[in-house]
Structure 1
Amino acid sequence: MTDANQTISDRIQKELDTFTRAERQLALSILENYPASGLGPLAALARSAEVSVPTVARMVQKLGYKGYPDFQADLRDELSAIAKGPIAKHETWAGAAPSGHILNRFTEAVIDNIRNTMAHIDPVAFDSACALVADQKRHLYIVGGRITHTLAEYLFMHMQVIRPNLTHVQSTSNTWPHYLLNATEGDVFVIFDVRRYENNTLKLAEMARARGARIVLFTDQWRSPVHRLADISLTCRIIVPSAWDSVATTVLLVESMISQVQNLDWDNTRDRMQELEEIFDKTRLFRKFT
């Protein structure tokens, strides 16, 4: 890529306001089915976006490429990165491993992920996501996948303290269709989906959307297919020197959301916290040293 720290999607979104009307139409068409949308012939991309061939050539150059073949080469690299399993990812990294201790190298990678994520996240979209999650008139469903179920559980546990009217959906279970029985228009689904994107998570999102639910998506820089259905997508960079991707940046956004949601109705949150502490005291769940 022309910039190793940015995906093509990152660059398109960064430059979106500088594009002409036709270029913006093209950019949105590419993002709609990213990254597969740009893998065909130039003329086919122009036709699907309903723009001219010269418009495609101009926009590609604005993104920093000499021509369409270079643009496609980066898209193919991204598609390959999305499909990589743990072993392939480790071998790719290990071949160019930098010097220094893993603690330093890993920390630097995580800090770079955080900086890049914060540079591209839309604060208005984040605030809107928090407002949806905090709205107690809407039933809140929280969904994770094979790995991200731990993030879903973490968010759910805190939301249980902050607000009523919520459900933790076990998306990896065959029972998840049962949860949709109670989903109604205006309910909110918070969905976690990162590479390698899970088919049942996409199907759940499709069915939730069909029932009129709102969707807040936590995903990676390549963006889950669920993003096409989501009202708000919060993308996080996840690459670290490991066979596995990092959840550190996603946890940062989740904890920031928890903080914002509790503050949106602090009086109610405080009362629920106090009541929970009283329950803890009665159950003697925790040791007391006074």
Structure 2
Amino acid sequence: MNEARLTISDRIQSQLDDLTRAESQLAHSILENYPASGLGPLSALAKDAEVSVPTVARMVQKLGFNGYPEFQAELREELKAKAKDPISKHDSWADGAPSEHLLNRLTDAVIDNIRHTLGQIDPEDFDKACALSADTTHNLFIVGGRITHTLAEYLFLHMQVIRPKITHIQSTSNAWPHYLLDVKEGDVFIIFDMRRYENNTLKLAEMAHSKGARIILFTDQWRSPVHHLAEISFSCRIVVPSAWDSAATPLLLLETMISSVQGLTWGDTKDRMEALEDMFDQTKLFRKFT
């Protein structure tokens, strides 16, 4: 499978508005345990979704496949892609690398990732996530993993200026369970989990969810297991011609979220910024040229 093209999840979500009631029921059943849901027999998928076998056959054709075996083969390729480590990703990219300069190829891939990602995001969901992040009546917790902690730290640094009652949890730390002691119903968790999904992050999400926390998830096109617990999920396209996945698309979403939240809270945020600048002046942290 060419990772840069649409996943089956992308195809389903792009057609949700045009599906019949039975097909929509099937689509949501597939997405509920995607991509493993379609790996069994066709009759098993129909039974799980409580639809007829012909409904599954029609749905597969609507998604652009000649039959159920081709649909399953694509799902298996997606499972392989989810599990790739940096070395195998580099090898698969290098084998088919075109001759154009990497600057252009990587830029084209990032632009394509952004276009596909934005095409799948519901603006109402994004606005809701921003409103939840701006709500200071509840605590806000931000969680990242081994690589995605850089995105979590970037968001935390800005949110810390914008609003109070915010905590950055290092999900790879043995101390993270301590943070859950103070979690209350309605508190908000922003969680970053992209392939290769981390067991610590899933366990943290499960425990936070059990305490009534609301979860906003930033994940990849194949979706972290945390999406089953998340109230809002943003699936970002991350594949580029590199041994490493790209953070450009989730970073774009984060910068947009930061801008939105500061706008929602501007009165209080402005006061916090002015107080922070005063402290910077007192500590002489930054050089002044006037």
Identify the TM-score tier after normalising by the shorter chain: over 0.9
Give the secondary structure class of the aligned counterpart of 1:235.
Answer: strand
Q: Structure 1 pair 210/134, CA: closer, same or farther in 2 (3 Å)?
A: same
Q: Which residue of 2 is the match for residue 182 of structure 1?
A: 182
Residues 78-108 of structure 1 show CA distances to partners (whole Å, capped at 9, x for unaligned) of 0000000001000000000011111111111
Cα separation, 2, equivalents of 1:193 and 1:275 = 34
Cα separation, 1, equivalents of 2:70 and 2:3 = 13
Which deviates more from structure 2 when the two are superposed, residues 224-233 or residues 4-13?
Answer: 4-13
- The one-letter amino acid paired with 2:142 is I
Residues 159-200 of structure 1 show CA distances to partners (whole Å, capped at 9, x for unaligned) of 010000010001001111111100010000000000011111
The alpha-carbon deviation at position 5 of structure 1 amounts to: 2.0
2:151 matches 1:151: yes
Q: Which residue of 2 is the match for residue 209 of structure 1?
A: 209
Cα separation, 1, equivalents of 2:199 and 2:219 = 14
Aligned length: 290
Q: Structure 1 pair 3/188, CA: closer, same or farther in 2 (3 Å)?
A: closer
8 Å CA contact retained: 1:219, 1:233: yes
Q: Report the RMSD for the aligned CA atoms in angstroms.
A: 1.1
Seq. identity, %: 73
Give the secondary structure class of the aligned counterpart of 1:155.
Answer: helix
5 Å-filtered alignment, 1:62-211, equals 62-211=62-211
8 Å CA contact retained: 2:46, 2:52: yes
- The one-letter amino acid paired with 1:120 is Q
The alpha-carbon deviation at position 4 of structure 1 amounts to: 5.1
TM (normalized to structure 1)?
0.98
Q: Which residue of 1 is the match for residue 253 of structure 2?
A: 253
8 Å CA contact retained: 2:4, 2:109: no
Cα separation, 1, equivalents of 2:201 and 2:76 = 24
Q: Which residue of 1 is the match for residue 274 of structure 2?
A: 274
Q: Which residue of 1 is the match for residue 55 of structure 2?
A: 55
5 Å-filtered alignment, 1:10-21, equals 10-21=10-21
The alpha-carbon deviation at position 121 of structure 1 amounts to: 1.1
TM (normalized to structure 2)?
0.98
Residues 201-260 of structure 1 show CA distances to partners (whole Å, capped at 9, x for unaligned) of 011111111000000000011111101100000111000000000000010000000000
Q: Which runs of 4+ in 1 moved over 3 A?
A: 1-4
Cα separation, 2, equivalents of 1:32 and 1:2 = 24
8 Å CA contact retained: 2:3, 2:81: no
The alpha-carbon deviation at position 18 of structure 1 amounts to: 1.2
Residues 19-62 of structure 1 show CA distances to partners (whole Å, capped at 9, x for unaligned) of 11111111111100100010111111111111111111011111
Point out where structure 1 has 5 or more consecutive residues left out of the alignment. none
- The one-letter amino acid paired with 1:80 is K
Q: Which residue of 1 is the match for residue 28 of structure 2?
A: 28
The alpha-carbon deviation at position 2 of structure 1 amounts to: 9.5
Point out where structure 2 has 5 or more consecutive residues left out of the alignment. none
Give the secondary structure class of the aligned counterpart of 2:25.
Answer: helix
Cα separation, 1, equivalents of 2:155 and 2:177 = 21
